[in-house]
Amino acid sequence: MMVAIGLISTGILTRSLGSVVFGWFTLTTSVFILLDALADFGTRIIGVREISQVGGVAGRQKFKEVFVLRILMASLATMIGLVVVWGWEGFGEIRWEATLLLLMIILTSVAGSLEILFQVEMRMEKKVLVDLLFPLLSLIWLVWWREKIELGLVFGGYVVARFLSLWVGVGLVGGWRLKVEGLNIDWLGLFKLFKESWPVGLYLIIFTAYDRAVDSLMIERLLGVREVAWYGLAYKIYLNLLQPAYFWVSSVFPLLAGGNKKKKRLFWASLAILTVVVGMIIGVISIGAPVIVEIIGGESFGASAGVLRILVWACLFSYIGHLLGFSLISRQGQREMLGSGVLALIFNILANWWMIPRFGMYGAAGVTVATEALGCGMMGWNLWRKVRAR
């Protein structure tokens, strides 16, 4: 359902905004997602792991620490975002629209805190409901305003949809979970949580930089905003195709991080399922990319089909990488992930710098595949070392 909603929404955006404005949309959302990674700073993943391991009253206290730290980091990310939007000339034409999108950072932070609770309690039906509600409401908004759609209206719809989905999510949580009894926060515990989270946080920022920002910014500077739109459509489809891996791995992560005795069996069963799913996705996209692109974007986005056929191979390494990365974190391997992320970022920047001037956006797509393969390989190596050490 997430994949379907995402593809339909992308189709409306490409056809309503046109290639140039969709290029601005791609650049703006890429920067927002980078700031969102800063706001999260690894606290969602580490929070699930820490709360799953202690539970009870200690888990309640740990959640309060996670919630406060997430709000602090989201506030910092919002302030940095304002400086970027109003200080960088690249946002000169869309500053007010980009500022509107920055409101999403705090709202997304609260949504991530709700997700932590749903994961820890293994109430995935509630998590899925909230996860689905946001893009579904956004899609309804786009359909309603499709004749008058423009960038500010799109971002305004995101804010409204996120607020409404949060209202439902808070109602689903209920009880003591969101009560903050004064300011009785264990600040030493908060510092320890930050100490555990920062390697994952830096990794997420680095990953987001090479996954969403570096290639788009280089394409815009070297080739132009229209090429950003063509590349952005293929990348948007690619990101939607990653949703099944995210949902599966986030569902099994509390079991991998907690005291479950069947972790090994769960890991290999998950690997088998993810491999079968990604194999079917690669087959469908390799054959049907031109038709899919034409349905979603129209004839003006025909160049995106070739990019999509390259990017879909990154799904293979991303699906496996999701499982390897979360398994590594469950074994206290966040520092190893950070080292892998730094090497992947350096490789991505250098490879894009060499490939884009020679092969355009197709070169950028190839670099994405190579970067995902490199990251997957390094995480697999680090996880093998962790398992062998025990």
**pLDDT tens-digit map of 294-328:** 888 887 888 899 999 999 999 999 999 999 988 88
Tell me the pLDDT tens digit for each residue of 152-185.
Answer: 899 999 999 999 999 998 888 864 455 544 446 6
**Residue 176: what pLDDT?**
44
Query: Where is 376: in which H helix or E strand?
Result: helix 334-389
At residue 281 the predicted structure's pLDDT band, cuts being 50, 70 and 90, is very high
Q: Which string of DSSP letters, residue by residue, matches 189-235?
A: HHHHHHHHHHHHHHHHHHHHIIIIIHHHHHHHHHT-HHHHHHHHHHH
Question: By three-state DSSP, how is residue 185 classified?
Answer: coil
Q: Dihedral sign for Cα 333, 338, 339, 345, please.
A: positive
Instruction: Please check the confidence at residue 86 and state whether its pLDDT lies above 50.
Output: yes
Query: How large is the C-alpha radius of gyration of the chain?
Result: 20
For residues 101-114, give the mean pLDDT. 90
Q: Is 39 in contact with 70 (CB distance < 8 Å)?
A: yes
| Mean pLDDT score of the chain | 85
Tell me the pLDDT tens digit for each residue of 217-231.
Answer: 788 777 776 788 888
What is the C-alpha to C-alpha distance for residues 373 and 388, in angstroms, rounded to an integer?
22
**Residue 259: what pLDDT?**
63
**Residue 89: what pLDDT?**
75
At residue 278 the predicted structure's pLDDT band, cuts being 50, 70 and 90, is very high
Instruction: Please check the confidence at residue 23 and state whether its pLDDT lies above 80.
Output: no
Among 337, 329, 387, 336, CA closest to 47: 329
Predicted TM-score (pTM) of the model is: 0.74
**Residue 367: what pLDDT?**
93
Share of the chain above pLDDT 70, in %: 93
Tell me the pLDDT tens digit for each residue of 116-163.
Answer: 888 888 888 888 898 899 999 999 999 998 878 888 899 999 999 999
Instruction: Please check the confidence at residue 381 and state whether its pLDDT lies above 50.
Output: yes
At residue 55 the predicted structure's pLDDT band, cuts being 50, 70 and 90, is low
Instruction: Please check the confidence at residue 3 and state whether its pLDDT lies above 90.
Output: no
Neighbours of 280 (CB within 10 A): 10
At residue 374 the predicted structure's pLDDT band, cuts being 50, 70 and 90, is very high
**Residue 49: what pLDDT?**
83
**Residue 213: what pLDDT?**
67
- Estimate the crossing angle of helix 151-173 against helix 104-120, to 10 degrees: 30
Instruction: Please check the confidence at residue 75 and state whether its pLDDT lies above 80.
Output: yes
Instruction: Please check the confidence at residue 26 and state whether its pLDDT lies above 70.
Output: yes
What is the C-alpha to C-alpha distance for residues 363 and 175, in angstroms, rounded to an integer?
52
Question: By three-state DSSP, how is residue 345 classified?
Answer: helix
**Residue 240: what pLDDT?**
87
Q: How far is CA 114 from the centre of its chain?
A: 16
At residue 212 the predicted structure's pLDDT band, cuts being 50, 70 and 90, is low
What is the C-alpha to C-alpha distance for residues 62 and 190, in angstroms, rounded to an integer?
8
**Residue 196: what pLDDT?**
85
Share of the chain above pLDDT 90, in %: 32
Instruction: Please check the confidence at residue 260 and state whether its pLDDT lies above 90.
Output: no
What is the C-alpha to C-alpha distance for residues 45 and 68, in angstroms, rounded to an integer?
15
Q: Is 248 in contact with 271 (CB distance < 8 Å)?
A: no
